[in-house]
Each structure stands twice: as structure tokens, then as C-alpha cells.
Amino acid sequence: MNALHQPPRITVVNDNELFLELMHDLLTQEGYDVHPIDGDTATIEAIASTDPDLLVIDLRLGREAPSGWDILLMARAHGTLREVPIILCSADIVELRSRKEEMSSIADVHILEKPFRIEQAEELVRRLLEREPPPVLPAPTPEPG
């Protein structure tokens, strides 16, 4: 992840150029380092290369691309993305809600239903990025031997 003095990195994956611009502008104004990725051409390697602290993924992406759900599953299987919080967003409320049970078994996945209020998105992003890191446990001491 990022050094402490750098702003948190947010990678937004969406096939809607207007949505990418909106999220870029909104989150940049809040002081975040935002990396938009076109959902039509998104690959897990491209996403991982941005070294994100947070992923915002649209559930439905272009026909030729993996779905947002597929990207979510790939992220959870990818070494550097495994523990990155994910916001899954969509206007398809039925599909979001139908996947809710599956999401409950996947760590750190949050839903943002479209349309959403700007304040709602800002608050969710802030809450996810400002969590205290888990405590660092001391290394085990070797047994005398």
C-alpha cells in the first residue's frame, strides 16, 4: 500500500465514461489519488498495478469485459488485492440484493446503490479508508534449543 504521506489511492472500474469522470472529480476534490479504469478493458493486472487502497467496481461492465462480480472474485484471489476494501456499485438493485448473501462470505465488500447522494459516497469512502490498521503483533521469540 501507500506510504503514510501520500493520499489514499482509489481505483474506479466502470464502463461509463461519465461516471468515471464524476467519481474522479468528486474523489480528487476530497484529496484522494484516483485511478479510473475503463470497465470495457479492465484486467486484474491493470487494477493491481494501481496499488489501490480502495476499489470501486461497477457490477455490470461492458459485454466483452469480465463482470464487476468476476473482478471482485479475481481481486479476492489476487495477492496484492486480497484485503483491499471494495465498493460494489450498480443501478441493478435486484442483482445487488440477490448477491448480498454471497457477499456476506467475502471480506470487506460494501454496496453503493445507484443513484446515490454524493455525501453518501463520500462518507462510505471516508469510513473505509480511515479505519485503524490492525495491531502489529510482536514476532514470536525462538525457543531456546
Handedness of CA 112, 113, 114, 115 (dihedral sign): negative
pLDDT, greater one: 123 or 142: 123
What pLDDT does 28 receive? 98
Whether pLDDT at 131 is above 90: no
Rounded CA-CA distance 43/110 in Å is 21
The span from the CA of 50 to the CA of 82, in Å, is 14
Q: What's the confidence (pLDDT) of residue 96?
A: 79
Biggest distance spanned by C-alpha atoms of the chain: 64
Q: Rounded mean pLDDT of 84-107?
A: 86
The pLDDT confidence band at residue 63, using thresholds 50, 70 and 90, is confident
Nearest to 81 by CA among 117, 45, 120, 35: 45
Hey, what CATH topology would domain 9-128 get? Rossmann fold (3.40.50)
Residue 134 has pLDDT above 50, yes or no: no
pTM: 0.83
Cα–Cα distances in angstroms (integers) from residue 72 to residues 3, 24, 75, 132, in the given order: 25, 20, 5, 23
| SS percent in the chain: helix, strand, coil, step 5 | 35, 20, 45
Task: Name the residue ranges covered by the structural domains of the chain.
Answer: 9-128
How many whole angstroms separate alpha carbon 35 and alpha carbon 50? Answer: 7
13, pLDDT greater than 60 = yes
